[in-house]
Structures are given as structure tokens and as C-alpha cells.
Amino acid sequence: MFESWSVTKSKGACARCGHEFPPNSVFFSCLQNQQGDFVRCDFCRDCWDEKEADSFFCFWRSRRAAPDQKQTANTDLMLDFFERLDRPDSERKRAFRFVLALYLTRRKEMKLLGVERGDGVESLLFERRSSGDKMLVENPDLTEEQIEETAAHLGRLLNADL
Ligand SMILES: [Zn+2]
């Protein structure tokens, strides 16, 4: 296990050795499931140990953007995260899943097919364009503000501008 999680708050630095990631450098990001939410930690190449990957909810390889570049969102990562959230067990995760579905629809990875209602719950039916797979996403009934807040939180977790 990574013993240094909780002490690392700095951005753009390795959670284990503390070295800052230089522009264009490759590093590894992981999400840890924590009390209904997620915490991200980043590791430089030297400190990353693939064998420990299983202890995280998910991980991915990132490249630090050059200072004048936007950190672009990685659609595959969004899809992967969305699929891993197929049984959200907290409000936060339901909100993540919903906002990711909206985002992926905007990126034309998914298509909204319709709305289903049952037991007082409204769900949106989406189709994954590449595979034709269908999935129901519960509508958490968020306000505009909550959607924006959720997207910002997701962007920080996934290190991307959504
Ligand atoms: Zn390191």
C-alpha cells in the first residue's frame, strides 16, 4: 500500500518521492475509493509500481501538459471511469455517473435514447456508439450549479478540463 497518500496535497508532484512533474513528463494517476467519493494521487514513473494498481479503483498514464497547453480530457479514461461506476453506492458517485454520461454524449461517444420511469426514479437510457451497448443512468436530479460543481470535481480528479 502507499503509505504517503494522506500527506500529499500538492499538485503536479509525486505522492511518494515528492518530485514535481516537469512539463511533458509521463506520470501515473490513480483514484482511491474513499467514503463515497474518490481521491486522486499521482506517481512519477520511478515510484509507480504496476503490482499495486489493483489496490486502486482505477489508474491511468498521464502526460503533464506544457505550461501554455490545456490539459485535454481523455475520452477513453472517461469511458473507463463511467463503466466502473456501474453500481454507484453514493450520491456523489451517482452524480459522477450522470455528468460523465452527459459529457460522453457531448463527445459523441454515447447517444441518449430516451427516458424511463419506474418506482419514482427517472433514468436515462444511453447507447454506446461504438458497441451498441445500452445502459441506464439514474437521473440524480441535479441543479445546473450541482452539475457544474460535479464536472469541476471530476475535472480535478481526472486532471482534465471538462
Ligand atoms: Zn516519485
pLDDT digits (tens, 9 = 90+) for 104-157: 999 999 999 999 998 888 999 999 999 999 999 999 999 999 999 999 999 889
- The angle formed by the CA atoms of residues 152, 155 and 160, to the nearest 5 degrees, is 140
- Residue 5's pLDDT is what? 35
What residues have their beta carbon closer than 5 A to ion ligand 1? Answer: 14, 16-17, 44, 47
Task: Name the band, by pLDDT with cuts 50, 70 and 90, for residue 19.
Answer: very high
71: pLDDT confidence band, cut at 50, 70 and 90? low
CA–centroid distance for 150 within its chain: 11
The alpha carbon of 130 and the centre of ligand 1 are apart by a number of angstroms equal to: 37
CA–CA dist 33, 55 (Å, integer)? 10
Q: Give the residue extent of every domain in the chain.
A: 5-63, 75-158
Q: How far is the CA of 21 from the centre of ligand 1 (A)?
A: 9
CA of 20 to the centre of ligand 1 (A): 8
What distance in angstroms lies between residue 119's CA and the mean position of ligand 1's atoms?
Answer: 49
* Alpha carbon distances (Å) from 32 to 40, 104, 111, 121: 6, 22, 29, 29
Query: What does pLDDT average to over the chain?
Result: 87
Q: In angstroms, what is the span from residue 42 Cα to ligand 1's centroid? A: 9
Q: What would the grid cell of residue 82 be?
A: 463511467
pLDDT at position 1: 33
- The Cα–Cα gap between 60 and 71 comes to 14
Q: What is the pTM of this model?
A: 0.81
**Confidence label for 7 from pLDDT (cuts 50, 70 and 90):** very low
